[in-house]
A and B are shown apart, each in its own frame.
Chain A
Amino acid sequence: MKTVFEKPKALSDVPFHYCPGCTHGIVHRLVAETIDELGIEGNTIGIAPVGCSVFAYNYFECDMIEAAHGRAPAVATGVKRTHPDKVVFTYQGDGDLAAIGTAETVHASTRGENITIIFINNAIYGMTGGQMAPTTLPGQVTATTPYGRFRNIQGSPIRVCEMLSTLDGVALAARVTVDCPKNVMNAKAMIKKAFQNQIDGKGLSIVEVLSTCPTNWGLSPKEAIQWLRDNMIPYYPLGVYKDCDTREVK
């Protein structure tokens, strides 16, 4: 019989712990497909720090490191600088990358570390049960913003790709989502480009994936997709914020 669909080889054949409707599963698959297509599994080291994806070391077949909350870009720096011929990626959530690990994110970016960052932005802390993230939207109710997020109290959300696109070391900063097949295909293309950039030695590539958290948003998976479209995409427009391939060389 002809095989028309199978699990990527770089994805471990184990059950995920992710909640029903969470988009981590799709993004994991896209990363694994990319690793398969580029033929780099044996050459790749993945780093997943604290957050919902902390068990990612169980889900990818390449060598994996579990890092402290926020520190994955620093750990990745240590791996990549000592093994420049290897492919190194981090897989981080919004609290990890844009709150506790902001310094590591910004400085790995400005140093132009030749690594790939997959950034899951679901506007909430998932693993701890739905608290405010640095990317929680204005007015959004979370466990620690029970009356909504207010600009004068909690400040405004961080737009990570826009911020990082100002840094010279960044080769690619792109925001994608996985709410429909077309966007999944686009996300895949960006993730693959982010890995290819590293193989080509172009510098740091970050792909921000707008994601859902049905459990902590208190919505069904279908409602969560619609909430993402109605609320997240307007605040976090999809697109390529920086691409060294299209930038004019002075």
Chain B
Amino acid sequence: MGKKVLMKGNEAIAEAAIASGCLYYFGYPITPQTEIAEFMAKRMPKVGGLCLQAESEIAAINMALGASASGVRCMTSSSSPGISLKSEGISYMAGSDLPCLIVNVQRGGPGLGGIQPSQQDYYQATRGVGRGDLRLSVLAPNSVQEMASMTCEAFDLGDIYRMPVMILADGALGQMMEPVDFDSLPHREVPEKTWATNGHGGKRKKNIINSLYIEPQVLEDSILDRYKRYDTVKANETKFEDYMTDDADIVLVAFGITSRICKSAVNACREQGIKAGLLRPKTLWPFPSDKLREIASHTKHMLSVEMSMGQMVDDVRIAANGQCPVSFFGRTGGMIPSTEEVIAEIKKIAASLN
């Protein structure tokens, strides 16, 4: 273990990005993620990198697209309304097989919504942001340490599978301070970017970065190829944390900051003799469906706890496939469920099981 540094979640993402060799950041201010841009503005010039404030979220994602196309590691970050604006560019990146880290430090919506933490962009992140038949690799940290480590994982995943990767955080994770160890960050070998449009130099044929295929059969073939890659991601990169689900009667499913509240609730319930457990998806796409299906075969009830009106619960239901009842509890609009509220919900379910 190395020396730990006390840091905000947003700053941890920025520092870890630089540690991962990302020297290009394109952004636009929006609460509650602006610390990423401010941190980058301070640090990048000192490490020979570039932090460029764009005229809009749209421009920022397209600058990132250009940087990624030409073969460098780059990132952009925003919060919910800004991610809506970036959606077009994210879709073009997916269609052009470009890696890029996109950070969403979610806030309450819809519309301008609020500035307090939320998980209301789950659908947007996992259901083909921009426009359809595409996937992002979506990582869901639940601590400042994971904000850092998942940033490193995101860059490697993007480069290995040639796809945009999203970190789906929230305002609480972005703003809170925790100790971070930067010495034990993950690192994987990644392939050389022979596809990059960085000038052929007379040494190879020209490279083209493109998402346009006017012949339907060619377009379908390109999508089928991409989905084969997505299958590999599903097989190799599905991550979750299993907390006492083996003997649990009631299994909570929660990601991000909500998972920490749920863990406290599970501990409190266990002390009171209620066999609760928690399955925390660390990747929202690919979603740990196989694990949840297995849990559903032996538990009595699954409860999805989210800071929304219930979005991930759909994926939990699909995974459970009718093997056990699935219900939802959550707060929305920037409200964070309290441990007591979650405990009360678990007890209600426990009472109905007897």
Chain A interface (Cβ within 8 Å of chain B)? 41-45, 47, 54-55, 57, 60-68, 71, 74-83, 86, 103-104, 106-107
Contact = CB atoms under 8 A, between A and B. Distances in A.
- 7 pairs of A and B residues whose beta carbons are closest in the complex: A78-B66, A74-B62, A75-B66, A63-B197, A107-B55, A78-B67, A78-B63
Contact of A62 (B63, B72, B203, B206): B206
A57 to B, nearest CB: 5
A61 B197 CA distance: 12
A243 B13 CA distance: 43
Nearest to B68: A78
Given A74-B62, A78-B67, 16 more contacts: A55-B212, A63-B200, A64-B207, A65-B69, A65-B208, A67-B62, A68-B62, A68-B89, A71-B58, A71-B62, A71-B65, A74-B60, A74-B65, A78-B69, A79-B67, A104-B62
B69 A79 contact: yes
B67 A43 contact: no
Contacts of A62: 199-200, 206
B212 A86 contact: no
B70 A83 contact: yes
21 contacts: A42-B199, A42-B201, A44-B199, A55-B212, A60-B206, A62-B206, A63-B199, A63-B206, A63-B208, A65-B66, A65-B208, A66-B208, A67-B92, A71-B62, A75-B69, A78-B65, A78-B74, A82-B66, A83-B70, A83-B199, A106-B55
Contact of A66 (B60, B63, B210): B210
Interface string B303-334: 00000000000000000000000000000000
Interface of B: 24, 26, 50, 52, 54-56, 58-60, 62-70, 72, 74, 88-89, 92, 96, 197-203, 206-212
Given A75-B69, A78-B64, A78-B67, A66 B58 contact: no
B198 A77 contact: no
A107 B26 CA distance: 14
Contacts of B58: 71, 74, 103-104
Nearest to B207: A63
B323 to A, nearest CB: 43
Contacts of B59: 71, 74, 77, 103-104, 107
A115 to B, nearest CB: 10
A42 B204 CA distance: 9
Contacts of A86: 70, 198-199
B200 A64 contact: no
A47 B210 contact: no
A103 B57 CA distance: 11
Nearest to B49: A82
Nearest to B63: A78
Contacts of A79: 66-67, 69-70, 197
Contacts of B65: 67, 71, 74-75, 78
Contacts of A68: 62, 88-89, 92
A130 B296 CA distance: 58
